[in-house]
């Protein structure tokens, strides 16, 4: 059963969030140790994190492999190295070392010894050595490491339990996203990330044993938007005059300008309606609707956006368009994206009644 874990809504201050995150990391480490003793299978190295903070967009285990090859090359300069030992050392039972080699070869970071047998022997190219140097330099960038951890953890939570089911965060540490520039994310990094995501209402703590976390509706919205956590957090929020900002609306609501700002003091806060219209326009291609239904959905979203961003939004028209969007989403909604749109419509309509 969920407790009152939403730290943003329950008024818990930053000190309490920090204490909670530290305790959660302690429990996470214990849980990870238990999982490792049970030989928990690791996720495929082909599944990478959202951001690509390392050279050549080689992330996760592949970046770790580059550093591993660099260490082996020091022992055997210029020679070919058998990569079969790499997945064995990291206990990546499901990984094919030949595929790992090919992935690095595609980035021109290694040269494969091609013969009649399995292509397991490689050596670093000059580009690979440069990439190793850049990885080592990047490891010193703590801000980049924390940004990567926030994006990777939130995406992993969404992919693992998109219905906001509680998840043990220890399991994240057994995925490619838990590596930054070829090194494992530390407990300190995880602690800071959990605290930051909770502070900004993107995750909530669930009082279970072991401790778990779940994405909030805000966190789900951030994951679906496709941007970074920082992009989401840094969006301007409405003030007393209801400053409404829709970033990068071009391509979201067709025909709109890239940026829109509105000051409205007539008692109607159009923020949620603008966000609803933008969201529906963004996800309409992935809802599985027919071309006719999709075009009608986008037309109503455009009408809602036009009304919400007008100089004097009329509550009745906002309610009409929002209800139409909700009904159309309900009629063809079988995806998480549609469910999220329905929730946003309900939130906007509820706010209009206050």
**Helix 60-75 crosses helix 97-106 at what angle (to 10 degrees)?**
90
Positive or negative: CA dihedral 137, 139, 141, 144:
positive
pLDDT at 188: 84
The Cβ of residue 91 has, within 10 Å, a number of other Cβ atoms equal to 13
Lookup result for tokens 């995150």: 21
Task: Report DSSP state, residue 167.
Answer: B
328-353: pLDDT as tens digits: 888 765 677 788 888 888 888 888 77
Q: What is the pTM of this model?
A: 0.56
Residue 5's nearest CA partner among 161, 207, 302, 234 is 207
Per-residue pLDDT, 131: 92
Ranges of the chain with pLDDT below 50: 1-12, 32, 34-56, 238-265
Residues 128 and 122: beta-carbon distance below 8 Å: no
CA dist., res. 78 & res. 312, Å (int): 71
SS3 320: helix
- The structure tokens listed for 342 are 């329905």
Residue 162 pLDDT: 64
Q: Comparing C-alpha atoms, which of 128, 75, 77, 126 is closest to residue 101?
A: 128
Tens-place pLDDT, residues 107-144: 899 999 887 567 789 999 999 999 999 999 999 999 99
Q: Given this model, what pLDDT does residue 56 score?
A: 43
């Amino acid at each position: 059963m969920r407790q009152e874990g939403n730290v943003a809504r329950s008024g818990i201050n930053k000190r309490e969030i920090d204490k909670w995150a530290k305790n959660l990391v302690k429990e996470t480490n214990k849980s990870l140790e238990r999982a490792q003793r049970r030989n928990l299978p690791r996720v495929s190295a082909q599944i990478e994190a959202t951001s690509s903070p390392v050279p050549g967009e080689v992330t996760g285990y592949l970046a770790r492999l580059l550093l591993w090859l660099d260490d082996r090359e020091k022992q055997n300069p210029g020679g070919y190295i058998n990569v079969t030992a790499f997945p064995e050392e990291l206990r990546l039972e499901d990984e094919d070392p030949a595929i790992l080699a090919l992935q690095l070869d595609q980035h021109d970071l290694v040269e494969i010894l091609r013969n009649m047998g399995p292509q397991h022997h490689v050596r670093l190219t000059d580009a690979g050595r440069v990439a190793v140097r850049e990885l080592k330099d990047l490891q010193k960038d703590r801000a980049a490491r924390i940004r990567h951890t926030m994006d990777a953890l939130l995406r992993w939570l969404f992919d693992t339990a998109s219905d906001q089911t509680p998840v043990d965060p220890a399991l994240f540490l057994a995925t490619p996203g838990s590596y930054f520039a070829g090194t494992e994310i530390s407990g300190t990094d995880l602690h800071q990330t959990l605290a930051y995501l909770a502070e900004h209402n993107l995750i909530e703590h669930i009082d279970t044993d072991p401790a778990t976390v779940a994405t909030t509706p805000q966190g789900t919205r951030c994951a679906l938007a496709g941007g970074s956590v920082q992009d989401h957090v840094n969006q301007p929020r409405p003030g007393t005059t209801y400053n409404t900002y829709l970033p990068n609306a071009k391509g979201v609501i067709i025909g709109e300008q890239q940026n829109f700002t509105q000051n409205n003091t007539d008692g109607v806060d159009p923020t949620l309606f603008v966000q609803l219209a933008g969201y529906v326009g963004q996800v309409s291609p992935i809802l599985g609707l027919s071309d006719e239904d999709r075009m009608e959905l986008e037309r109503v979203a455009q009408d809602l956006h036009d009304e919400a961003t007008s100089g004097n939004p009329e509550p009745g028209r906002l309610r009409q368009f929002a209800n139409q969007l909700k009904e159309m989403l309900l009629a063809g909604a079988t995806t998480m994206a549609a469910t999220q749109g329905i929730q946003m419509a309900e939130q906007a309509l509820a706010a209009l009644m206050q």
